[in-house]
Structure 1
């Protein structure tokens, strides 16, 4: 049964929430009086469509239904999750959350995207809500700070994990929660550095993105400093750098006055830094960089990569077909070249991933490999038949040509969203004993499953192109 999310407020954050739910198979109803809301949210969702699926090596669920409403009661009816993302004015939030408490189903989670207000402030006039504070872009970054009633935040956390997010329960109410307090500290110091003429906006950004920003993406603050302590660890780091806390390095308790001169100075430097790009261009650049970094983190399971791996394992398996589906995904931007077409190396990567998936189907999975047995690739033959484009759906099916004894011969069909054959990859593998590094017979269960596939596929037509060599002319 399709679930429904009601999004109230369609700005940058509300649009990100809409995209996150929609691309995870939820129906999404949006309420926003802005006459431009449909256009703005549509552009955010377009950005999400090209980036969020690129994080995964499995296909996300089919998109839900997106609708826009001028009546709040209509938008909230039947919702399982309601997310308020209106401007940060407490009187406005009281009004909206009060209405939602009356209109939304009693079973619905009501979350507020507030970055600063505490739950006790949001509910002081009788509304029912928890803080569910995300980070921009909501459709890519997994963190959501949850503050409020323990039972309600536990329910909320379960939903958020199901759409690939990382709920962080804040133990006690505090202004600005956890993450924004760090951002505020860095922001204050940056304002002073610009005001005092020590650094420009661009130089401050370079200091972050060329250095500690990369470390923080995978390890955060304390783990980064633990490593800085060397073999002696965190205790040594604290002893070595603790005294600097009493030195006048920062002005965290002091804020520069927001004069017109300071605002103009910062705005001018920022325009010089990145004013040559539109906001949409900057968003797409940001999203492509995030996808690249987060996909890299998937390999080690560090940070956001671990969240992606957990969500990907929970995604539904492809539907059964005559041939097993060994790949079903969206082609990420990082797989394409200058003209937006999938680079030839990634045809091989897609085929290799299909081989890995087929190995899992016959039981030659991670546990099997850990036991000291696996299949090694001996030879591949790729045929490039058609172009594949960034953002396009790629499906791979696999036919077993040989599956007896030590050999496994597979033929992968790579097809585009229209079912047109874009490439084939024939691969020959030998079973190997990882201890002796010599070929060997597979385990009995793996061998039986492989033979069952091979026997079933003998009745299928021998695929055109199988057994060919490079440069061979078609008959």
Structure 2
């Protein structure tokens, strides 16, 4: 079943709703947004900026052209023509019912309506809807644009074909949809998290550990194991060669020991809330929410990229999903050059002939090369590590006049890439007429900047640029490739 969609609507744009907008936009889907909050546009812009910063570094394949974003004045305007409608309003049953009824009344007949609720039953949400068979819970995890899981839960009257279509749609968005077999409050993920959360509250309440110490226990131990194998497979390995059966026999008696307080939750009185809030402020060390989000995103990208880069040719866990998404992007989208730099020719670039002077062409091509390097991962941190690319050869052809005020774009085709060399072909085009103004063929070498010699690039960099070169190999080779000066 083809799950590709052209348009989606997001109703409610807090943290989760804005995350849905970002995932959809970067998957090439047009998105209409409705949220009456005066901060909605700012929140969406900030979350989308974070996504645009992190998602391209997550994938070795080119993303599709981004979808268009539209802020709609009403629910009816937002859902018009939408194939998927994602409701993410606050977690209040009556509010959600009111919003879902309004969505249902205006949405196209084919549209699937997904609620991002963290725990409300879909059967309760369906009350008041005329077309209740198309409602599902589609519960994601934050940040939605990076974490692939979405729990799909049908209500008592949800049509089986709705769940099947929804599974195809979310899969096409690069997600891992898990259909929960029957509805239950809080579904699966939040029930597991809630058990850990309740125990953590008791540990702080009883002064066994601080919030930082508890987080350290998680992130330096089983958190890393869970990232790739989850719970049951981790415990299977803990059983040694005898596997899960031995683990259960060895640790099964511990289930009767007082190792957890579970439902016996401490009162969240002012004193405990103050203690947790104070310790959390100390843990943040002055970092803003947006700074913490960017740190989180960087760490998630690194972990998932590591899970995708196994040498045997396939990934593990979320890394294997990335490989599948990259293959889909490479095979499903037409090969085209990278569009990297845009600008307008300023007055100070004009020479005595009335058009752009020679050395400005080289400047534009240099900026294009710099942007390409950033795109493949040669950022400030990579350069600070003592490695970069040096341009060792350039051939420029001046093909058209660029006068003051001309709007231009640059494109890049990667002709060849290996562990040390990067062979590229740039073009400057008139954005309004599409006329080619100039081209440049360049050879770059990857170098150790301290030793001043060519060395192999980092494995993840090689993988990324090789993947781009494979896509660009499907394009016609430039007719000017390999020309020498004076050649006809």
Structure 2 length normalisation: TM-score? 0.72
Q: How does 1:4-19 map to 2 (within 5 A)?
A: 4-19=7-22
Deviations 1:442-473 (A, max 9, x none): xxxxxxxxxxx9xx9797552679xxxxxxxx
Cα separation, partners in 2 of 1:216 and 1:2, compared to 1, 3 Å: closer
Residue aligning to 1:113:
116
Q: Please state whether the residue corresponding to 2:89 is helix, strand or coil.
A: coil
The aligned residue for residue 94 of structure 2 is 91
Q: Give the 3 Å change call, closer, same or farther, for CA 226–118 of structure 1 in structure 2.
A: same
1:383 equivalent to 2:392? Answer yes
Post-superposition offset of 1:383: 3.4
Identify the residue that residue 77 of structure 1 maps to in structure 2: 80
Q: 2:414 aligns with which of 394, 397, 400?
A: 397
Distance in 1 of aligned mates of 2:27 and 2:326 = 11
Q: 1:295 to 1:260 in 2, by over 3 A?
A: same
Taking structure 1 as reference, are residues 246 and 85 closer, same or farther at Cα in structure 2, changes over 3 Å only? same
1:175 is aligned to 2:189: no
Report deviation, 1:174.
Answer: 0.6
Is the alpha carbon distance of 1:411 and 1:124 closer, same or farther for their aligned partners in structure 2, counting shifts above 3 Å? closer
Please give the secondary structure, in 1, of the residue aligned with 2:380: coil
CA RMSD of aligned residues (A): 3.2
Q: State the partner residue of 1:142.
A: 148
Deviation at 1:417, TM superposition (A): 10
Kept after mapping to 1: 8 A contact 2:425/2:481:
no
Deviations 1:91-147 (A, max 9, x none): 001000011111110101100000101111111233531000000000000000000
Look up the match of 1:336. Answer: 379
Please give the secondary structure, in 2, of the residue aligned with 1:52.
helix
What is the distance in 1 between the residues matched to 2:250 and 2:118? 35
How many residue pairs align between the two structures? 383
1-side partners of 2:376 and 2:440: how far apart? Answer: 21
Is 1:248 the equivalent of 2:240?
no
Q: Pick from 255, 258, 277: which aligns with 2:287? A: 277
TM alignment of 1:40-55, pairs within 5 A: 40-55=43-58
Structure 2: tracts of 5 or more residues without a match: 338-370, 395-409, 430-437, 447-472
**1:197 & 1:259 partners in 2: Cα distance?**
15
Corresponding residue for residue 335 of structure 2: 319
2: CA distance between counterparts of 1:187 and 1:53? 33
What pairs with 1:293-304 in structure 2 (closer than 5 Å)?
293-300=303-310, 301-304=315-318
Deviation at 1:337, TM superposition (A): 2.9
Residue of structure 2 in register with 1:363 after alignment = none
Determine the C-alpha separation between the residues in 1 that align with 2:439 and 2:279: 50
Q: CA deviation at 1:344?
A: 7.0
Q: What is the CA distance between 1:58 and its match in structure 2?
A: 1.2
Change beyond 3 A, Cα 1:384–1:79: farther
SS in structure 2 at match of 1:25:
coil
CA distance 1:411–1:59, shift in 2 (3 Å): closer
* SS of residue in 2 equivalent to 1:78: coil
**What residue number does 2:172 align with?**
162
Matched with 1:412 is 423
Note if 1:307 corresponds to 2:321: yes
Partner residue in 1 for 2:248: 238
Asked if 1:288 is matched to 2:298, the reply is: yes
Asked whether the 8 Å contact 1:111–1:131 carries over to 2, the reply is: yes
Displacement of 1:253 after TM fit?
2.1
Distance 1:65 1:185, change over 3 A: same
**For residues 253 and 458 of structure 1, what CA distance do their matches in structure 2 show?**
68
Following the alignment from structure 1 to structure 2, what is the Cα–Cα distance between the partners of residues 45 and 246? 48
Partner SS state of residue 152, structure 1: helix
SS of corresponding position for 1:64: coil
Distance change in 2, residues 1:394/1:113 (3 Å): farther
For the 8 Å contact 1:50–1:332, the answer to whether it is kept is no
Deviation of residue 314 (structure 1)?
A: 0.9
1:163 Cα deviation after fit: 1.1
Establish whether residue 462 from structure 1 lines up as the match of residue 482 from structure 2.
yes
Structure-2 separation of matches of 1:458 and 1:8? 46
Cα distance in 2 for partners of 1:394, 1:231 equals 55
Give the conservation status (yes or no) of the 8 Å contact 1:292–1:334: no
| TM-score, structure 1 as length reference | 0.74
The aligned counterpart of 2:434 is none
SS in 1 for 2:152: strand
Contact 1:54 1:331 in 2 (8 A): no
SS in 2 for 1:99: helix
